[in-house]
């Protein structure tokens, strides 16, 4: 059947990039991944955390200690850095930098500046005038009756 033989109101569905044929589209109400991720399957971050928290035996000056793997790696890195291993020294500096150990926390330029720091005003009226604030008088609640 030619395109010219079809009635004008009958439209041929467009097929192309991001427009699959109707026969290959997902059915209404069905997921594109019906089985999904397996219930017990871990992602890479969970596997890494589990392995980093695994306890291992470490010989610390003739005494065996059980430490988390991440802590044992840092301890071995410190020992290697003390032996003048340049890679270990670079690793320790990188860890310290990531942990913000080189920041001067007492320097306000490093920390942050206050959003609003008013100068000392002589009176409440002067403070309100400078900062665009005004007092709102609330009715007193001393008596049970309302004043009109």
Rounded Cα distance, 119 and 84, in Å: 53
Q: Which residues of the chain, if any, have pLDDT below 50? A: 148
Rounded Cα distance, 34 and 8, in Å: 39
Please state the domain extents for the chain: 44-117
Q: What confidence score (pLDDT) does residue 130 get?
A: 74
Terminal-to-terminal C-alpha distance of the chain: 87
107: number of Cβ within 10 Å: 8
Express as a percent the part of the chain with pLDDT over 70: 72
Joined tokens for residue 58: 């470490």
pLDDT digits (tens, 9 = 90+) for 57-74: 998 888 999 999 999 999
pLDDT digits (tens, 9 = 90+) for 76-86: 999 999 999 99
Q: Where are the beta strands (DSSP E) in the chain?
A: 55-60, 63-68
Token pair 């041929």: residue? 12
Rounded Cα distance, 27 and 34, in Å: 12
Q: What confidence score (pLDDT) does residue 148 get?
A: 47
* Residue 58 near residue 72 (C-beta atoms within 8 A): yes
Rounded Cα distance, 41 and 39, in Å: 6
Nearest Cα residue to 44 out of 55, 36, 52 = 52
């Amino acid at each position: 059947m030619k395109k010219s033989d079809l009635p004008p109101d009958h439209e041929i569905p467009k097929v192309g990039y991001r427009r699959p044929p109707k026969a290959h589209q997902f059915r209404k109400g069905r997921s594109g991944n019906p089985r999904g991720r397996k219930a017990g399957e871990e992602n890479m971050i969970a596997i890494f955390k589990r392995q980093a928290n695994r306890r291992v035996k470490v010989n610390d000056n003739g005494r065996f200690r059980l430490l988390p793997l991440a802590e044992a790696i840092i301890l071995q890195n410190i020992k290697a850095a003390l032996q003048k291993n340049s890679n270990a020294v670079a690793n320790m500096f990188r860890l310290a930098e990531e942990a913000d150990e080189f920041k001067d926390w007492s320097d306000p330029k490093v920390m942050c500046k206050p959003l609003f720091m008013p100068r000392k005003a002589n009176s409440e009226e002067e403070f309100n005038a400078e900062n665009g604030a005004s007092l709102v008088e609330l009715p007193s609640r001393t008596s049970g009756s309302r004043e009109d």
